[in-house]
Amino acid sequence: MKLLLTINGAENVIDVLALAPACRFQFGDAPERHAHVETPEPGVYSVLMDGRSYDACVEETPNHLVVSLNGFRFEIEARDPRRWSPKAAGRGGDGVQTIASNMPGKVVRVLVTLGDAVEAGQGIVVVEAMKMQNEMRSPRAGKVLSLSAKEGATVAAGEVLATIG
Amino acid sequence: MFHKVLIANRGEIAVRVMRTLREMGIGSVAVYSDADRTSRHVRMADEAEHIGPSPSTESYLRIDRILDAARKHGAEAVHPGYGFLSENAEFAAACEDAGLVFIGPSAESIRRMGSKTAARRTAIAAGAPVVPGIDHAITLEEAREFGCAHGYPVLLKAVAGGGGKGMRAVEREADLESALRDAASEAERAFRSGEIYIERLITKPRHIEIQILGDRHGNMVHLGERECSLQRRHQKVMEECPSPLVAQHPEMRGEMGQAAIRAASAAGYYNAGTVEFLVDQERRFYFLEMNTRLQVEHPITELATGLDLVRLQVEIAAGARLPFTQEQVAWRGSAIECRIYAEDPYHNFLPFPGKITRLTRPLGPGVRIDGCIYSGWVVPMEYDPLLAKLAVWAGTREAAIERLLRALGEYDVSGIRTNIGFFRQILEDVEFRAGRLQTSFIDEFLERHGPPQPPADLAAVAALAAALHTLARNGASPTRPDSASQWLQAGRRELLR
């Protein structure tokens, strides 16, 4: 079973040849490897590989998986390459840019209205969390095509607030 | 001794105070806002009272509601913790007027030490060294004279200021005129007062503070220093006792300790307090300000001295004399604390509140956690991002660093982001290990280092875990179905909630 993984921004392919517990897999160009895998707790993968013991914790977020391992954090997006299509991945194609909240919080100000012409770098929405305000700016000049942000609304990290095209 | 104490605070410090109250056989009353109904401090308290909506201006900063809660529950004293109303002289006075003992200094001492310029005058009068400067609004001519007399660089600051607004560092006299003009106009916009004063700029200072403790009978001791040079945006993130500098120059502890006692005594201070100093590269120290409350980082002093500062605060508030003399205070080993924040250190330290989906705390020798979080708790977005303080103690600084690294490795907080990984990077840093600390350490560290690069083997294991997780979610079982299916189903349900 092949999966296309985007790990901290870099694309890799993993081929799982045998499932857990006696797992066999091929990662990138490396030769086939064996690993013994158990899930002692939900979302926790105990991996024994080449005599070493690893505890990988997997959590699901709206956009990707987060794997914590030995104090390192991996943001991983996994896709089945057979189902992968350029259209699905090309959100924001034709130069349309989405403005997504980069932290969970509350929308305290919406600085534009639908249809407004905006400059590159212009503030679109201000999100606040834990006494810190963060202004989301437009990455390009264009028009506000959609605006889902509402003042007072709670937003998740990665939630789309507006699109600019 | 009191029978019941109200804690006018939330989060980890409320929990910290309650722990000592319980050990002393004193009942605890929690107060809470809408956002905190299920918070740890409410669940842990003996009694609890709702004091208003989530914004702190409508709850934790409402003196009237807190006093009502104290009356309703029959509390005899109030512990303010840190932040919120802890350094509010009006609150201390209101408690006393309501017949409640304020567990802290007098309202008068808070007033005398609360304002930076008033505290500076008190310190000067007490003979404590301060950064050379002119305390009142200056003209360009006065600034020039000061520059000639004390040398450059100098620092221009807004008289009404705070938060770095209207502040300018000036490297040479040629830049003085334009810097003064810019600072005054920025101060005018921010504070409606363009008055500027001047100080000598201490380059790359250390921030070292002294814990003091005094009773209401005129006795006062110091409990040594804490090195708090590791800061980001003027917020401390990691503290240690002893300071690596003081460890090399042990006479500094007594000198700074005596200066702190002189300044605090001049303000008629009692209970616990902290005098902050800047230390320059020639190891000269200067009074900076006084915090008239229990400090966030007090656990490292407790670990190094074996004292319980909250117990001493309560006993002193109840009228007890200090139970030891300066000569009886002893320091042992080395303690380091790091402040675990809900923030993303690799995306500009943006706050990251949310639901904690899994929590594993470090355990074992020499580890102390002062925290308030639990698995399943939603960290509120209304308050400070401090989740917990992880402190370790060991015989030497080197051993304490290794212990802290070990403990951070055991710490797993899932569902939100934290700065746990960032601390591990700092602890591995050569400059940190050498004890070469100063207040711009973290900014310079961030310029030297990007996000940590994981070894290739770890990437393969992470990829495998992610792949198995994805396949399991899509229907393939990642482990033997007979042994794990129910757990997996429960786990998936939990994760998909």
CATH dotted code for B4-103 = 3.40.50.20
What pLDDT digit, counting tens, does each position of B223-272 carry?
Answer: 999 999 999 988 899 999 999 999 999 999 999 999 999 999 999 999 99
> How many percent of chain B have pLDDT more than 90?
80
Boundaries of domain holding A105: 91-164
**What pLDDT is attached to residue B494?**
56
Of A57-61, A93-97, A106-110, B15-19, where does the model show the most confidence?
B15-19
Number of structural domains chain A divides into: 2
Asked if A136 is an interface residue toward chain B (Cβ–Cβ < 8 A), one would say no
Our CA-based measurement puts residue A162 at a distance from the nearest CA of chain B, in whole angstroms, of 20
CB-closest option in A41, A67, A104 to B381: A104
Half-sphere exposure of B17 (CA within 13 A, CB side): 31
Cα A91 to Cα A163: distance, rounded to the nearest angstrom: 11
Classify residue A30: in a domain, yes or no: yes
CB-closest option in B343, B417, B465 to A56: B465
Q: Looking at this predicted complex, what is its ipTM?
A: 0.76
Residues A68 and A105 in one domain: no
**What pLDDT is attached to residue B488?**
52
**Residue B429 is which amino acid?**
D
Classify residue A86: in a domain, yes or no: no
Domain boundary among A49, A79, A109: A79
What pLDDT digit, counting tens, does each position of B398-446 carry?
Answer: 999 999 999 999 999 988 999 999 999 999 999 999 999 999 999 999 9
Judged by DSSP in three states, B214 sits in: strand
**Residue B301 is which amino acid?**
T
Classify residue A29: in a domain, yes or no: yes
**CATH label of the domain that carries residue A113:** 2.40.50.100
Judged by DSSP in three states, B5 sits in: strand
Residues A98 and A67 in one domain: no
Q: Smallest Cα–Cα separation from A58: which of A22, A29, A20?
A: A20
CB-closest option in B358, B414, B479 to A38: B479
User: What are the residue ranges of helices labelled H in A10-147?
Assistant: 86-89
**What pLDDT is attached to residue B356?**
94
Q: Chain A window 10-49: which residues touch B at a Cβ cutoff of 8 Å? A: 12, 14, 16, 19-21, 23, 25, 27, 30, 33, 35, 37-39, 41-45, 47, 49
- To which H or E segment does residue B222 belong? strand B220-232
Residues A100 and A70 in one domain: no
B403 is catalytic: no
Our CA-based measurement puts residue B133 at a distance from the nearest CA of chain A, in whole angstroms, of 33
Residues of chain B with CATH 3.30.470.20: 206-448
Superfamily of domain B132-200: ATP-grasp fold, A domain (3.30.1490.20)
Phi-psi region of B47 (alpha: psi -120 to 50; beta: other; left: phi over 0): beta
DSSP assignment of B288-324 equals EEEE-S--TTHHHHHHHH---HHHHHHHHHTTPPPSS
Superfamily of domain B206-448: ATP-grasp fold, B domain (3.30.470.20)
- Note whether A47 contacts B461, CB cutoff 8 Å: yes
**What pLDDT is attached to residue B120?**
87
DSSP B130: B
- Note whether A69 contacts B461, CB cutoff 8 Å: yes
| Residue of B40, B120, B293, B403 marked catalytic | B293
What pLDDT digit, counting tens, does each position of A4-47 carry?
Answer: 999 988 899 999 999 989 999 999 999 999 999 999 988 999 99
Give the dihedral of Cα atoms B71, B72, B76, B77; nearest 10 deg. -80
Residues A74 and A49 in one domain: yes
Residues of chain B with CATH 3.40.50.20: 4-103
Q: For residue A122, what are the CA distances in angstroms to A140, A160, B258, B298?
A: 9, 17, 54, 44
Q: Which residues of A touch B463 (CB under 8 A)?
A: 5, 7, 12, 14, 27, 74, 76
pLDDT band at A90 (very low <50, low <70, confident <90, very high): very low
Averaged over A115-123, what is the pLDDT?
92
Asked if B466 is an interface residue toward chain A (Cβ–Cβ < 8 A), one would say yes
Burial class (CB in 10 A: 0-12, 13-18, 19+), B452: middle
Judged by DSSP in three states, B141 sits in: helix
Cα B84 to Cα B75: distance, rounded to the nearest angstrom: 19
Domain boundary among A79, A101, A130: A79
Q: Which residues of B touch A105 (CB under 8 A)?
A: 351, 353, 381
Give the dihedral of Cα atoms B232, B234, B415, B15; nearest 10 deg. 140
Asked if A7 is an interface residue toward chain B (Cβ–Cβ < 8 A), one would say yes
Cα B399 to Cα B407: distance, rounded to the nearest angstrom: 12
**What pLDDT is attached to residue B492?**
54
Residues A156 and A104 in one domain: yes
Classify residue A65: in a domain, yes or no: yes
pTM of the shown model:
0.86
Cα A164 to Cα A143: distance, rounded to the nearest angstrom: 5
pLDDT at A137 over 50: yes
**What pLDDT is attached to residue A79?**
85
Q: For residue B197, what are the CA distances in angstroms to B138, B178, B181, B193, B230?
A: 6, 15, 12, 12, 27
Cα B383 to Cα A128: distance, rounded to the nearest angstrom: 11
pLDDT band at A58 (very low <50, low <70, confident <90, very high): very high
**CATH label of the domain that carries residue A8:** 3.30.700.30
**What pLDDT is attached to residue B489?**
55
**What pLDDT is attached to residue A71?**
79
Q: With contact defined as beta carbons under 8 Å apart, do B121 and B334 qualify?
A: no
Retrieve residue B161's tokens.
Answer: 């200021």
Partners of B158 in beta bridges: B196
Phi-psi region of A121 (alpha: psi -120 to 50; beta: other; left: phi over 0): left
pLDDT band at A94 (very low <50, low <70, confident <90, very high): low
Residues of chain B with CATH 3.30.1490.20: 132-200
| Stretches in chain B below the pLDDT threshold 70 | 161-164, 476-497
Which residues lie closer than 8 Å to B250 by C-beta, 6 or more apart?
A: none
